[in-house]
Amino acid sequence: MANILTINIDDRKARDMLGRIRKNLPQVNDKGAKKVADIYAEEIKFRMYAHKFTGTSMGDLDLGGIKVEDGKYVVRAPKYLWYVDQGTKPHFVSLSKHPELYDWARMHGMNPYYLRYKISKEGTERYGVIRDGIKAGDKRFRQILKQHYDTYIESKGRNV
């Protein structure tokens, strides 16, 4: 089984963001938790594409929400995403064990063996795609939550 990086999305946090108002709103359901996980996945994926961390095999970034229990989802992501996000110290990379790195280097007009050499001497740069994706996902989630809240309050005939 392939290694995956998980980012937990728990709908209790979403409900708690509503504070006192949550009594008047329907509970965040399973569909809502899945939507939140997908928002985070989309934002992280967008940042990966923006930094050109895609290639022939990396281009099919398999990011998305996976249900782990009622109301709780995780964002599925390839393990290398963590290394792109945090950067690495110098280390040896086997191109035969990581063909996606070989493909990525070729796609970007680089010699894969020179890339391997650079990683072994300098490591990799930190890009913060997970952090930035989560920040952007939070912003999108708050906008959607506000929109749904306003729609719900209007449907009840109340002014806030």
Q: What is the pLDDT of residues 107-139, one digit of tens each?
A: 888 899 999 999 999 998 888 888 888 899 889
DSSP for the chain, written as a single string: ---EEEEEEEHHHHHHHTGGGGGGSPPP-HHHHHHHHHHHHHHHHHHHHHTT---TTTTS---EEEEEETTEEEEEEETHHHHHHH-B-S----TTT-HHHHHHHHHTT--HHHHHHHHHHH-B----HHHHHHHHHHHHHHHHHHHHHHHHHHHTT---
Enter the pTM of the model.
0.63
Q: What is the pLDDT of residues 24-69, one digit of tens each?
A: 444 545 667 778 888 888 888 888 777 666 543 444 566 777 777 7
